Structure 1
Amino acid sequence: MPTSNDMQNVLDIQDKNMIFEDNCVSYGIHKQKKCKFIDCTLTYIPTECKKCQEPNKDFSIYKNGTQTSRITFPISGIYPTYLRVKKQRFKCTSCEATFTAETPIVKEACFISNFIKAEILAKSADARSIKSLAEETNVSSTTIQRIINEQVKYYRPYYHSLPENLSFDEFKYGNGQMAFEYIDVVTGTILDILESKDTRTIKDHFCSRYSQNQRNQVKTITTDMNASYVSFIPELFPNADIIIDRFHIVQLVNRAMNKTRVKVMNRLRTSNGEDQKKYRRLKRFWKKLLKKESELSYTTYQYFPMFGQRLESAIVSEMLAYDPELKATYTMYQAILKAVEHNDSKQLRTVLDQPASPELSGYMKTSLKTLSAHFPHIQNTFYYPYNNGKIEGINNKIKVLNRVAYGYGNFIHYKNRIILHFNLKPIRNKIKMIEKEREHTAA
C-alpha cells in the first residue's frame, strides 16, 4: 500500500504536515459528476498563536477538534480530483481564540489549490478559450477570469516613461468596435490598449498619463495611413517623425491594381466567346498581375491552362494587352513597387509627380493622391528601419484569442486576457527551453 511520502510525491505536495493514510483514495459524486476524493490530515504543533502571536509554551495552544475542507486539485487520471483535508483546529489559552492549521498548497479561506491557479496561468499563454480552460481545470469560467484579472495586476502599464520609438495600430472586437493599441516598436512590448480608437480618447489618454516632457522624448511613431493619427501625432509628440509602414504603401496600390483587374474582367463578361476566354484568364491568373515584374520568369517555359506552353512573362503581357486601362495601371503599379523595393524616395516622388495617364484607372488615381498627401511621412519609411511588422503580428494573435472565445462582451476582460497572454508566453517558452537543456545535459 502507498505510504504518505509516496502520495506526496505522486501529487507533488511538498508540505510534510499533510499525512495520507492507507486506502485514502475513494470515488464519489460531486456536482452530478463522478470524481475522485483523496483524504488526508493536516496537523502540526504551532509555534505561536495566529491571533495574539503569543509563543506556544507549556501547551498554551492545544488541539481543538478538526475541520474538513474540500480542495479542488488538478485532475488525476480521468476524473475530477478533490483533496478532502481534515485540518487541525487549535485554541489559544491566552486570548481564547481559535484558528486552523494552514498549508501552502491553498490560500486561507480558499478552496481552489495553488496548483490549479498555476495550471490556469500556464495554459493562459496558449490561444485557448476561457470555457475550455474551465473544463480542463475543473473550475468555473468566472473563476478562470478572476484569476486572470488578479494576475494581470502585476503587468500593469508603466505610465512614467515612453520609449523613443512607438508603433500605433487598431484591432476589431465585439460588434465591430475598434480598439487602439501602442507598442514599443523595438521590443514589441504592448504598452497599453484603449477601448476606442477615436481621436478624443487617444488624446485624453496620452495627455493624462504622460507629461509633455515624456512625450517630447518620442522620436518616431510608425503607423498606417490613418488620417486621424497623422493629424494628432504632431500635437501630442512634437519631436516625433511619423513613419508610414511600407506594407500599407504596397497594400494600397496592390488593392488598386486588383480592383482595376476585376473591373476590366467584368467588362469582358459578355456572350462573345473571345471575351469569355479573356475573362477566364484574368480570373484564374490574377496573382500573376500582382506579382513583382522582377520576379516573373523570362527564360523558363511552363504549361499554363488556357495558354499552353508559354513564358510566365509572356502570359502577363498578353493579359495586359486586353485593355489599355489595365496596362497603364499595371505600369504605374510596378513603378511604385520598384521604388519601395529600392528605398528610393526620389524615384517615388518622380512617379507621383508625373502627369497621370488618361487611361489610368480611377482606383489607382485615388491611391496616388493618398500617397502624395502622405509623402513627407513616406520619406521617413525609407530612412528609418522601423515598421509595423511586430504590431501586425500581435494583432493576428489577438484576433485568434477573440475567435477561439467566440468574442468578448467585456472589454476589460478581453484586455486582461491579451496582456496576460503576451507576458506569460515568453516566460513559459523560456522555462521549456531551460528544461530541454537540463534533459540534454542529464542525457
Structure 2
Amino acid sequence: MLSNQELLKLLLPEFLVEHFDILKAETHDAELHLYFEEKSSIPHEFKERQLESKGFLPEIMIDDYPLRGKIVKLHVKRRRWTDKSSGEILQRDWQLVAKGTRMTKDLAGFLKKLADTKALPLKVIAEFFGIKGKTFQRQYKNKLSEYHSWEQKRHAEDWIIYPENLSSSLSLDEVALSDGELYTVLTSKTTRGRKGSIVAIIKGTRSDFVITHLLKISRKLRMKVNEITLDMAGSMKCIAQRCFPGATQVIDRFHVQKLATEALQEIRIRHRWDAIEMENTVTQGLGEEKTQVQKYLKTVIHANSF
C-alpha cells in the first residue's frame, strides 16, 4: 500500500513533496491553491558548508496539472540560506519551474508536446489547462519552442532540410503557402503526413536553386530512395533525376486524373455545340413543326450534357 508521501508524489511535483511542507490548501471557484514552505533541512549541494536559515524569499505562484477539474496554483516560499563563515546568501538548486515560464517542468513539457504535435491553436491548448492563452503563446515562442536556438533559423526563410526524415519513398510537389509565394516541398510517404514527414522545404520552384540545396543531403542517403512521386512539370522531373538518380519517377495520379477530366470536358462541350448547331439547321424554315423539333433536340442535348 502506498504511503501518504508516495501518493502525494503521484499528484504533485516530487521535488516539492521531498523538500517542502504543505501549509494549507484553499479553493476559489474553479481553482485549487496549495501553499508550500521549504523545509529547514540544509540543501544537499551545500552539506559541506555551515549554513543557517535567514527567512524566506518572496512567494511565487506556479501553474501545475489540474486536479479533479480544478486549476492548480502552487504558492511556493523558498528559504534564504546564509553561509556563517563568508556571509554569502544561498538558496536551494531550483529544478521545479521550466525556464522562462511560471509552470512546473512536467506541465510545460506536456503542453510543448501538444503544441508540437497537435493541429490546435496555442491559446486553446493553454486555456484547457487553466493557463492564460496569450501568456503561453509568449512563453512557447520565446522559450519552450526552442525557436531562437534552432540551428536552421538563419536560413529557414529560404530553405530547411531534415535529412533524417528521408525514406525510400518520397513525394515532390510545389505548394503555394500564400498568394504568389511558391515553395518546393519534399516529403516522406512512409510517415503518412505525421511527424517526420518533411524532408525539405525550399523557396521557389527554380530547379537549379532546389537542386543546390537538396544536394546538401549526403549521396549515400539519396541513393536509398527507390521511388519519387511528382507532377508532370519539367522542373520537377529535372530535380528528381538530378538529386535521386536511382529512384523510379511516378506521375501523381491526381494530375493524370485532372488532365483526363479536362480532356473529357472539352469533348462534351464540342458535342454540345454540335447539337446546338444541328438544332438551328433543322428548325430553319419550319412553321408549326418547329416547336416539336426543338423539344426533341433539347431532350437530346440535355441527355448528352452528363
Q: Please tell me the TM-score bracket, short chain as reference.
A: 0.5 to 0.7
Report the Cα offset of residue 95 of structure 1: 5.2
Structure whose alpha-carbon radius of gyration is higher = 2
| 1:22-49 C-alpha deviation (Å, 9 max, x unpaired) | 4x21439xxxxx8553222233421233
Distance in 2 between residues matched to 1:222 and 1:145, nearest whole Å? 35
1:226 correspondence with 2:205: no
Report the Cα offset of residue 69 of structure 1: 1.1
| 1:230-271 C-alpha deviation (Å, 9 max, x unpaired) | 123323333433222334323321343245446656887999
Unmatched 5+ stretches in structure 1? 29-33, 50-54, 287-443
Distance in 1 between residues matched to 2:52 and 2:161, nearest whole Å? 48
2:177 to 156, 170, 173: 173
2:257 to 250, 254, 257: 250
Distance 1:129 1:259, change over 3 A: farther
1:40 correspondence with 2:36: yes
Distance 1:10 1:240, change over 3 A: closer
Report the Cα offset of residue 228 of structure 1: 1.4
Distance in 1 between residues matched to 2:28 and 2:45, nearest whole Å? 38
Question: In the alignment, what sits opposite 1:62?
Answer: 52
Identity over aligned pairs, percent: 17
Aligned residues of 1:102 and 1:108 also touching (Cα < 8 A): no
Report the Cα offset of residue 129 of structure 1: 1.8
1:20 correspondence with 2:12: no
Match for 1:252: what amino acid?
Answer: L
Aligned residues of 1:63 and 1:91 also touching (Cα < 8 A): yes
More strand by share: 2
Q: Could you tell me the TM-score, scaled by structure 2's length?
A: 0.67
Match for 2:184: what amino acid?
Answer: F
Report the Cα offset of residue 226 of structure 1: 2.6
Aligned residues of 1:165 and 1:220 also touching (Cα < 8 A): yes
Report the Cα offset of residue 221 of structure 1: 2.1
Question: In the alignment, what sits opposite 2:242?
Answer: 235
Secondary structure in 1 matching 2:184? strand
User: Which fold has the larger relative contact order, with Cα–Cα distance below 8 Å and residues 6 or more apart in sequence?
Assistant: 1
Distance in 2 between residues matched to 1:90 and 1:154, nearest whole Å? 40
Distance 1:66 1:26, change over 3 A: farther
1:111-260 counterparts in 2 under 5 A? 111-124=102-115, 125-137=117-129, 138-139=131-132, 140=134, 141-146=137-142, 149-150=145-146, 158-159=162-163, 162-175=166-179, 177-188=181-192, 189-199=196-206, 200-207=208-215, 209-212=216-219, 214-258=221-265, 260=267
Distance 1:180 1:145, change over 3 A: farther
Aligned residues of 2:183 and 2:202 also touching (Cα < 8 A): yes
Secondary structure in 1 matching 2:45? coil
Unmatched 5+ stretches in structure 2? 153-159, 280-290
Report the Cα offset of residue 11 of structure 1: 3.7
Q: Could you tell me the TM-score, scaled by structure 1's length?
A: 0.49
Q: How many residues align?
A: 268
Distance in 1 between residues matched to 2:209 and 2:26, nearest whole Å? 57
Report the Cα offset of residue 83 of structure 1: 1.3
